[in-house]
Amino acid sequence: MSWEIAIAAVLTGLFTLLLLPLNMKLSTKWKLVAHPDARRIHTQRTPEAGGLSFGLVIILAQLVFALLRWQQYGPMLSGLALTGLIALLLGAWDDRFEAGPLLKVLGYLALGLLMWVFGYRVQFLTNPMGGDLVLGWISFPATLIWYFAVINAINLIDGMDGLASGITVVVSGVLLVVGLMEGNYPVILLSALLCAGNLAFLRYNFPPARIFMGDTGATFIGLNLAAISTAGDAQFKGITSMTLIIPLTVLAIPLIDVVLAVFRRIRLGNILKADKSHIHHIMLGFGLSQKAIAIIVYIVTLLFGLIAIGFSFSGKRTLFSVLLGLMIVMVVSAYLFMRQEQNK
């Protein structure tokens, strides 16, 4: 079955590359364009909703595999494809009409609800000091929170050329390695498709970007990353707390950015108000180029990903301590960056 996934990943990348020029033309025609403003980094009108180029291809691939493996994974993959299409439409609506924060929150929660219905549920949590924690009835709110957190994290980190797409390549690549180690077919398939699509998208999105993924792509990516970690239930090999702790670990950079953004906005008096003080904005203030920032963030995210893979080889307690220490260093470093920039 691995050769089928490899071919599908290659075709996903090729079709994404073929669709991107058309995506740019249609985005401009349909006024799906990002205009420069005080909050954004770019200085000229740029087509967005680039997530359509890889999102539609990935959805098609998911449906094809749903038909090929219907008895094993059909309902699961078709459910994700349907929800992914809804995520693309919600994101495209936001890119065109700039939906308010409350509508975004409700939309993310609705996506989480759909995923819970289709069986992509957070059922276990890893306890580094002991056995796994079975959530029981708490699985429902935990699932909604998980999808909301991951989708929102990718949306918030998508503030600079190539940042979200590059991080997605690293995260999905790590999940692909874990899926291969665990022999988990859904994780291997979904990770390979997402990695291939975003790797191709980087051809046009790496600084200087010719098209942005927009909320269209960021919402779709967040949904799929959250889904990979909760694919199926105990009947699928490898669907344990390990598949949840891996993306939690490898997504440390954008999740840290989410936490810092929430506290910053509380201090400013409006938690829903967008600003220009994310980590990548602060790094730009120190004179780093967008390319340099993207590469730095890729490397740091990869570092967290390698540590996450280490959970599969070493004791949970030791590596959890290392991970916790690195996360503390990242939070302190980000705080110092922001304080120094504010004092200029």
SS (H, E, C) 118-174: CCCCCCEECCCCCCCEECHHHHHHHHHHHHHHHHHHHHHHCCCCCHHHHHHHHHHHH
Q: Report the distance separating Cα 276 and Cα 228, nearest Å.
A: 31
- Look at residue 81 and tell me whether its pLDDT is greater than 90: yes
* Residue 2 confidence class, pLDDT cut points 50, 70, 90: confident
Task: Please list the residues that pair with 133 across neighbouring strands.
Answer: 125
**Count of other CB atoms within 10 angstroms of residue 179:** 25
- Look at residue 80 and tell me whether its pLDDT is greater than 70: yes
Q: Report the distance separating Cα 86 and Cα 94, nearest Å.
A: 12
Q: Report the distance separating Cα 84 and Cα 220, nearest Å.
A: 6
Three-state secondary structure call for residue 47? strand
**What does the pLDDT read at residue 108?**
96
> For the residues 134-143, what does the mean pLDDT come to?
86
- In this structure, of 34-48, 70-84, 154-168, 245-259, the range with the lowest mean pLDDT score is 245-259
Ranked by mean pLDDT, which of 72-76, 196-200, 223-227, 267-271 comes out on top?
A: 196-200
Q: Report the distance separating Cα 36 and Cα 34, nearest Å.
A: 7
- In this structure, of 105-114, 175-184, 195-204, the range with the lowest mean pLDDT score is 175-184
Of 132, 317, 138, 118, the closest CA to residue 240 belongs to: 132
Residues in the chain: 344
User: Which phi and psi angles does 128 have, rounded to 5°?
Assistant: -65, -15
pLDDT cut 70: percent of the chain above it? 69
pTM recorded for the entire structure: 0.82
- pLDDT tens by residue, 220-267: 999 999 898 887 443 332 333 343 345 545 555 555 666 666 665 566
